[in-house]
Amino acid sequence: MVNFSVFNELSLPLEKHTAQENFGVFFDLLKQLKYRDLNQIRMSSEFKNYDILEGVSFGEFIGNQEIDFKNRLREFVSNQVIKIDSPIIKNNDIKSNVLSEIEYFYHNDTTNGGLACCDILNAIALSFDSDSQWDNSLINIRKKVLNENANITEDTVQIKHTSKASHLPLHNSFFSALRKEIKQEITRENLWAKKDEFFPQVIVFCPEIEQQIATIDKTVFDCAMSILRDVESKQKKITDFNYSSEGQSVAQNPSLKQHRLFTIDGKQKFVENHIKSLPSKHRIYFLEKGNKIYIGYIGKHLPL
């Protein structure tokens, strides 16, 4: 899980006669989110680069406001209200070109901004209460994925969302899981000894993982654990992430297949499904069996 919210830039521009009220609700939401351990908001661009009103930049907008409101706006853009960061997805979050393999649509329009990134990162989207379409705790977007076999799959995904304080109680399970995540502090050094404590219900690590995590890059490890904790806490299904299976050329080649044999319940099993949402072309190979998900490998893409 991530410890930041994500700004939905589609909730701009605002209407001139309600803009100050919209900002008031927005600032209150930021305080509420800080109370729930979300101390940062990420944006696709610096806030001062957005048009606040139709055709009116932030600089032009702030210049026309009365002094008290102008000071609040200045405090916001100078990180005194909450830390603002951009871009939304960074190289050390997940592989940097993930949006080149996934296409998102909102109301039939392509989007790769805040709502799309919320699905990738399992984050909560934050909007201005500028239109009735944003008065919802969940926002539906369409998702198309191009896998390694050049097949396209399409699905509708729901984005956790808020534009006013009344939406927040509907996400209590998300905030509860986040608090638990923050307290756990999973590291490469303590994972193997405490794996059953960190992952008591869904995720099962194959014995091969013990040696892999000793040498894996910390950035990759942290990203992998974030994904697996989302699955363990049932915030996400493992198939919600960008994944694919191996082609027949791998399954029918004994040498290549050997690299994908991992120990599950004491027996060697062929594991071909792999999540691709990791930095530096790393993968998580997994096998679903009953209500458990077995993790056989975390590392660079296996030989093809």
The pLDDT value given to residue 48: 92
Mean pLDDT along residues 31-45: 93
pLDDT reading at 215 higher than 90: no
Q: What pLDDT is stored for residue 99 in this prediction? A: 62
CATH number of the domain enclosing 212: 3.30.2310
Same domain, yes or no, for 171 and 203? no
- Verify that 135 and 29 share a domain, yes or no: yes
What is the percent of the chain where pLDDT is above 90? 67
Q: Does residue 150 surpass a pLDDT of 90?
A: no
The rounded mean pLDDT for the chain is 90
pLDDT of residue 250: 87
Whether residue 152 is found in the same domain as residue 250 = no
Give the per-residue pLDDT at 95: 45
Q: Is the domain of 40 the same as that of 161? A: yes
Residue 180 lies in a domain: no
**Would you state the structure tokens that stand for residue 171, as one six-digit string?**
């996400």
Question: How do residues 275-293 score in pLDDT, each as one tens digit?
Answer: 987 887 899 999 999 999 9
Residue 33: pLDDT over 70: yes
Is residue 18 domain-shared with residue 84, that is, in the same domain?
A: yes
Reported pTM? 0.76
Domain end (from 125, 152, 175): 175
114 Cβ partners below 8 Å, 6+ apart?
A: 6, 7, 8, 9, 10, 43, 44, 88, 125
Q: Which DSSP symbol is given to 134?
A: G
254 shares a domain with 220: yes
**Count of CA atoms in the C-beta half-sphere (13 A) of 129:** 20
In a domain, 256, yes or no: yes
pLDDT band for position 3 (50/70/90)? confident
Highest mean pLDDT among 40-49, 100-109, 237-246: 40-49
Average pLDDT over residues 181-187: 83
Contact (CB, 8 A) for 293 and 231: yes
Domain boundary among 108, 143, 175: 175
Pick from 124, 143, 175: which residue ends a domain? 175
DSSP H or E run through 22: helix 19-35
Same-domain pairing of 169 and 196: no
82 and 52 part of one domain:
yes
Q: Are residues 162 and 241 in the same domain?
A: no
